[in-house]
A and B are shown apart, each in its own frame.
Chain A
Amino acid sequence: MSVSLTPQFPSLAQRITPLQLLRPDGTLVGGAEAPLDDVRLQDALRLMMLSRAVDDKGVSLQRQGRFGTFSTVKGQEASVVGSAVALDPSRDWVVPQYRELPALLRQGLPLEHFILYYQGHPAGGRIPEGVRLLPIQISIAAQLPHAVGLAWGLALQGSDAVVLAYFGDGASSEGDFHEACNLAGVVRAPVIFFLQNNGWAISTPRSRQSSARTLAERAPGYGFDGVVVDGNDLFAVYAATSQAVERARAGRGPTLIESQTYRFGAHNTADDPTRYGHGDTLSGWIERDPVTRVQRYLAARGQWSDEIEVQVRHGIAATIDGALAAARSVPPPAAADLFTHTYAELTPRQVRQLRQLSTTPAAAEGR
């Protein structure tokens, strides 16, 4: 039950007992019941595998110069998917940072939008009407006050919607994290602060963010509960998030969930994790791979096999190819894309600047 999830900080890990339901070998912890049935679990697994396939494809395209700098989810799939599937996309909202692709897809964002975004096309920022999702957030923790305002505003208007905001261990050091948690506690906003502690903020280890034993234990200071979960255990993440959703929906306010996980890859495609000891504990974490854990569980129940896996992988490859093709069919950015949506209506000066920029060689080439 008590697994060392932060081996880079063994002295801390000894005192942490995160919620775990599914062991790395795919067996249930004694007495635990699976919170998801096999059908829903297979859906979740497919989403985790799709996420990892997009990561691999994205890195390969980035190396070919066909994709911009981006951050992979790899290693954190159970953390993102387990929390996302606890939401009801027809009423609940996701407020992302930038490492939560499967949650965006689960809310209904078309994969081609994500691809366009990381190919540097302004149109990639578009979120279709009805998709309850805020844009990818680059400014660390800046989305957290938005999530509180959104949750609070929805509640004021009589909705029973819940807002789940993603952020990381580094973000927990930002003033916006503190201000958002504090406000959420005061107004009892139906918001879930989902902290993915993946051990690193680029190269800075978790121990440099806070001397608190866990990041979740800050929550009582804001007047609500904090829980620590094994972030590589889909069941544990799902169960903890479901409880937080139930609490928020019932008007009992926010929850801080610290999901302890590990980033398998670099911070992003511009990072070199060999420079800061990221690999020292990586093998231990790979043994706790969130994807194989679920596959082992399902296999033991006769619900997963090499044949099924091949089938699923085919489907995923087709999905990605389709999204890449859809992204390719979007015309390249034009000068108008610099200005459209900056204001409801362009200012006279913008109109003039647009006219000037439309005649430059770059605009003519459509780059």
Chain B
Amino acid sequence: MIEAIRDALRGEMTADERVVLVGQDIGRFGGVFRATDGLHAEFGERRVFDMPLAEGAIIGSALGLAISGLRPVAEIQFLGFTHQAFHQIVSQVARMRYRSQGRFPASVVIRAPFGGGVKTPELHADAIESQYAHVPGLKVVAPSSPREAKGMLLTAMRDPDPVLFCEPLRGYRLMKEDVPSESYTLDIDKVRIVREGTDVTLIAWSAAVDLASRAADALLSEGVRAHVVDLRSIAPLDVDGLIAAAERTGRCVVIHEAPLTAGFGAEVAATISCEAFYALQAPVERVTGPDAPFPLAGAEQIYLPDVSQVVAAARRTLAAS
């Protein structure tokens, strides 16, 4: 997946000379995950900037760069570290268009990886995407595969609004698939049906889509055909796409790594309950991380939702009425 992201960055930097990259260690080092490997050599010091170690200044100055007429793409090394730029993202980047009544669109892309499964130190895996989904003016998207990542990142870089682009950390190396070499865009504000099914709808984004697909395989061996939906974007939420997917089966399981309480699954469940109530055959199930901090590496397998939990939740929806 990391190659797909780099491919998108290189493609857009070639196509649009206004695109500049800012972040920590993204220059000669190529980024802690090598997302920008070779881009400093290819595009030079005036397009790829190693920034001082200050998340607030990276995001705040990216907004200034955007106002100056450039198209900055900021890399924050881990989504959990964006709290050190939280005020700049939430109170500044997300609001600049509105505050200036349209004069200063904040065309900034903020890339940050998140999620567990690769035994990182504390705070590196935190799934805090729902905190940003609550912010009008900001778009929050989370690709689930390399092909998706490339198309979605290219689309985000051309979006007139600020986009928080949450990348699945464990997908960087583990997720592999053929990716078209040319540039292409995707409807990032529309859900993607990953596989068609008729019995139960599994709803996820980012790395949890892979989990949903594996759970769907397990369910199929029991004769249950799962409808797997990748939200792609949690802000804005494709309500119509979500409702159509929920109504397809009337039984829904939403899956995410973040803690249960006030996780984005709550919004998904509430939306389905309000807008697809009469199509529901069972209460909406949530399979999530527990209401506990993401643990140190030795305990992360206990923390992370797994196939057995998703399968059990799907069975509960099937057992109802």
A binds B: yes
* Given A125-B100, A344-B161, A151 and B56 contact (CB-CB distance below 8 Å): no
Residue of B nearest to A142 (CB): B92
User: Considering the chains assembled together, what is the distance between the CA atoms of A150 and B189 in angstroms?
Assistant: 30
Is A126's CB under 8 angstroms from B64's CB?
no
User: Does A33 touch B at the CB level, under 8 Å?
Assistant: no
Is A142's CB under 8 angstroms from B87's CB?
yes
| B241, chain A: closest CB distance, angstroms | 10
Is A125's CB under 8 angstroms from B92's CB?
no
Interchain CB contact (< 8 A) of B62 among A149, A186, A343: A149
Q: Do most interface residues of chain A lie in helix, strand or loop, or is the interface mixed?
A: helix
* Given A145-B88, A156-B46, A179 and B60 contact (CB-CB distance below 8 Å): yes
Residue of A nearest to B240 (CB): A348
Interchain CB contact (< 8 A) of B97 among A176, A180, A343: A343
Interchain CB contact (< 8 A) of A126 among B52, B87, B101, B239: B101
Residues in chain B near residue A145, CB distance under 8 A: 56-57, 59-61, 63-64, 88
Residue count of chain B within 8 Å CB distance of chain A: 46
User: Does A266 touch B at the CB level, under 8 Å?
Assistant: no
| A222, chain B: closest CB distance, angstroms | 10
Give the most central of A122, A148, A187, A347: most B CB within 10 Å: A347
| B47, chain A: closest CB distance, angstroms | 9
Binds B, one of A127-135, A201-209, A291-299, A313-321: A127-135
User: Considering the chains assembled together, what is the distance between the CA atoms of A186 and B57 in angstroms?
Assistant: 12
User: Considering the chains assembled together, what is the distance between the CA atoms of A150 and B103 in angstroms?
Assistant: 15
Interfacial residues of chain A within 92-148, with CB under 8 A of chain B in the complex: 122-123, 125-127, 129, 134-135, 139, 142, 144-148
Interfacial residues of chain A within 8-28, with CB under 8 A of chain B in the complex: none
User: Does A342 touch B at the CB level, under 8 Å?
Assistant: yes
Residue of B nearest to A146 (CB): B64
Is A129's CB under 8 angstroms from B103's CB?
yes
Residues in chain A near residue B88, CB distance under 8 A: 142, 145, 176
| B99, chain A: closest CB distance, angstroms | 5
User: Considering the chains assembled together, what is the distance between the CA atoms of A150 and B70 in angstroms?
Assistant: 9
| B315, chain A: closest CB distance, angstroms | 32
Residues in chain A near residue B72, CB distance under 8 A: 149
User: Considering the chains assembled together, what is the distance between the CA atoms of A341 and B136 in angstroms?
Assistant: 11
Is A150's CB under 8 angstroms from B98's CB?
no
Give the most central of B54, B57, B72, B92: most A CB within 10 Å: B57
* Given A123-B101, A135-B99, A342-B136, A149 and B64 contact (CB-CB distance below 8 Å): yes
6 interchain pairs (CB within 8 A)? A145-B64, A147-B64, A148-B64, A176-B60, A342-B136, A343-B97
19 more A-B contacts (CB under 8 A) besides A139-B87, A347-B236? Answer: A122-B101, A127-B103, A145-B59, A145-B60, A146-B61, A148-B57, A149-B61, A149-B62, A152-B65, A176-B88, A179-B52, A179-B54, A183-B57, A341-B98, A341-B100, A342-B137, A343-B161, A344-B160, A348-B239
